[in-house]
Structure 1
Amino acid sequence: MEQVIFYIFAAVLLFAGAMVITVRNPVHAALFLVLAFFNAAILWVLAGAEFLGIALVVIYVGAVMVLFLFVLMMLDINVAPLREGFARYLPVGALVAALMAAQLGGVILAEQAGLTGGMIPAPSGETNNIQVLGALLYTAYVYPFEIAGAILLVAIVAAIALTLRPVQRGRYQRIGEQLATSKRERLRIVKMKPRGGGAEQ
């Protein structure tokens, strides 16, 4: 029964992923992406990784995709220019997808064959997968974890710097400076010689 449930949700996940890249309406594509994330979270839970499944639902479905939907609904996106280069970049996208699938398959086969040297410990009955994941991140993968955090921090600072615009301040009166001035700063007397015969008379 567990395998039947897995194949059902995996089929729905594949269908939603295909619809994300084939539908013409960007709002519909975002909704299908929400469906894909939800089914992926269910597969994580079935695999015993409850923390990853809950994090996928809370972070991506509950926060990121809601933000995407707000942006897509507020912007008037012309879909036709976005679809023009789909066939041109399709071979490159297929090559990248094949490389990613090959790398993922290699990691799975290496773990099953025991070539990783036991870097991923199996959770025992006394600990759950969240404790094992935390211990693994802060022991074996502490440097990649810190590097990923630094890269995200740099990305946040760069996004803020790119979107920050100087504030256009209007002119306004400064009452304190006006009251503190003296007549020497504001008044200048210029002596000029008179011109014309009428002044001399």
Structure 2
Amino acid sequence: MTADERDHLYRISGHNAPRRTPLDTHVAPQLQRVLDCLDHTPALVLSSLAETLVQNRLASALFGDRTRFTDLALSGIYRWFTDPTERAVYPDDHHSRQSRAHVASLRLAYGLAGADSRAGRLVRALRKESDEFRELWQRHEVATRFDDHKTLLHPEVGAMDLDCQALLTEDQSQTLLILSAPPRTEAAEKLALLRVLGHEQFASRSPEA
């Protein structure tokens, strides 16, 4: 049975469905296969705690290497509320919306995984470290969605208006996030330039033959 069918069976039997714990950090094979086909647009796989599990080269050129972090800092939600540099990729007037989106998605993961999970540990840490998080947490907003349009800032190519598509695993534990731009737009030209810059940076880091 699927997870939804299992939960339905429990409910019609008069029982509470077992708690789902969508916090696996091993990349789902089906998402990895799609990611491997995406060379010309930024793409990355995220956990339900906004942990970057894997990203392609263009996503690294756009965001930097987000897989390098460890412990709580692996979560983009944690970094958003504790590291001011995390917000530099978004325009200032987008910060409030992004903060709410992060908290709403964390509340969903917390509700599914429980207080003793990694989500619970993340919530406890952020309630101690961020006044903004504490205020937003009290709103009890819940969501599992991504904006279908984002404006992102890059230090070398500037602002880019990008479309955003999200492909989720069945249990919603992981998301393949794909960023793209319509053909023949300024954003598409900037992504093409970023792809060249990314290849040059990769080559400069590679050892000489």
TM (norm. structure 2) is 0.23
Answer 1 or 2: higher relative contact order, Cα 8 Å, separation at least 6: 2
User: Which structure features the higher share of helix residues?
Assistant: 1
